[in-house]
Amino acid sequence: MLKILKYSIYDLLRSRWSYVYFIFYLLIGFVLLFLNNDINKAVITLMNIIIVLTPLIGTIFGVMYYYNSKEFTELLLAQPIKRNKIFMGQYIGISLSLTLSLVLGLGIPFVLYGLFRSTAIFDFSLLILVGSFLNFIFVALAYNIALSTENKIKGFGYAILMWLFLAVIYDGLFMISLMLFNEYPLDNFSLIATMFNPIDLSRILILLKLDISALLGYTGAVFKDFFGTNKGFFLSFLVLCLWIIIPLFRMSRKLRKKDF
């Protein structure tokens, strides 16, 4: 597995896409900090970018890589290597290289602008951590979709739809249900509904760490009571882990039965 992982990382590092991705983040980081020199404020703006773009890029990258390297994967499958190992190697390879681009791309400008001397270091690390989680989650989801669909176009379509659902439509449904059931106590409902969407969960996790959380009012207080404690914090990271583990589990089951 390590060999395959190494191979996919080298492969990705050679392809220009991970550089494009890296430079994209680097540019965003520098432009943000150039426009407002305040690291604290830049972290807030960055949150919007990470929460929307990281999943999107992870999804597209995952699907693209699967379909692109399909022929080579089939060649590998002919060798006496376990299927699981081949795909796990590829999966970790993509996720790691994406995470590397994210961490370096955003890390370099922020460190240059004096991150270590700023109070925002904790918020920033949380942001990067959450971003990395989102990378792993969405690549896993994308791989699942790609494995289940032979047709390239369909695969892309489903992947984008999945991103659209989690990033936008889910929140719409969430909002509508909150408005419809206005008369009922909705604190626990909103807590649970947040858990079921990794993007929402990440957003809330970061929001609560920023002082903008005072705007959230009563529900915010309920959320803070939950996520603010160590227990809640670990639980939410556990949920994020589950968001990685469950798709991977499904992937390995799918692999066993799949006829290549």
Partner 1 sequence: MEKYSINVIPNNSESSRKRMTSLPIRQTVNLISIFILLFSISLQAQTKTIEVCSSCKVKTIKEGVTLAKNGDTILVKKGIYKETQIFINKTIHLIGEDYPIIDAENKTDSVFAIKADNFSISGFKFKNIGISYTKEIAAVFVSHSNNFTIKDNILEDVFYGFIIQRSKYGVIQNNKIIGQAKSEASSGNGVHVWKCEKLRIEQNTISGMRDGIYLEFVNNSFVSNNTSKGNIRYGLHFMFSNNNEYHHNEFKNNGAGVAVMFSKFIKMHHNTFHYNWGTASYGLLLKEINDAEIHDNVFEQNTTGINIDGCNRINYKNNHFIRNGWALKFTGGCYTNIFEFNNFMHNAFDLSYNSRLNDNKFEANYWSEYTGYDIDKNGIGDVPFRPVKLFSYIVNKTPETLVLLRSLFVEIINFSEKVSPIFTPDNLMDVKPLMKPINPLD
Residue 233 CB neighbours (<10 A): 16
When binding is defined by CB under 8 A, the residue of 111, 169, 238, 245 that contacts partner 1 is 169
Piece of 5-13, 136-144, 154-162, 220-228 that binds partner 1 (CB under 8 A): 220-228
The SS3 assignment for 119 reads coil
> Can residue 202 be called a binding residue for partner 1 (CB under 8 A)?
no
Q: What contacts 191, CB < 8 A, 6 or more positions away?
A: 222, 223, 226
3-state SS track over 201-240: HHHHHHHHHCHHHHHHHHHHHHHHHHHCCHHHHHHHHHHH
Considering the complex, what minimum distance in angstroms separates the CB of residue 193 from partner 1?
A: 9
Piece of 21-29, 143-151, 207-215, 226-234 that binds partner 1 (CB under 8 A): 207-215
> For residues 32-71, which are near partner 1 according to CB under 8 A?
47-48, 51-52
Piece of 90-98, 103-111, 171-179, 241-249 that binds partner 1 (CB under 8 A): 171-179
Tokens read off for 216: 């959230």
> Can residue 130 be called a binding residue for partner 1 (CB under 8 A)?
no
Q: What contacts 23, CB < 8 A, 6 or more positions away?
A: 105
> Can residue 95 be called a binding residue for partner 1 (CB under 8 A)?
no
Per-residue CA distances from 12 to 69, 98, 133, 198, 252 (Å):
11, 9, 19, 26, 23
When binding is defined by CB under 8 A, the residue of 13, 121, 171, 254 that contacts partner 1 is 171
Considering the complex, what minimum distance in angstroms separates the CB of residue 32 from partner 1?
A: 15
Contact 149, 158 (CB under 8 A): yes
When binding is defined by CB under 8 A, the residue of 8, 194, 202, 236 that contacts partner 1 is 194
Piece of 83-91, 122-130, 161-169, 245-253 that binds partner 1 (CB under 8 A): 161-169
What is the dihedral angle through the alpha carbons of 135, 37, 204, 137, rounded to the nearest 10 degrees? 0
> Can residue 12 be called a binding residue for partner 1 (CB under 8 A)?
no
Binding site for partner 1 (CB under 8 A): 47-48, 51-52, 167-169, 171-172, 174-175, 178-179, 182, 186-187, 190, 194, 200, 203-204, 207, 211-212, 214-221, 223
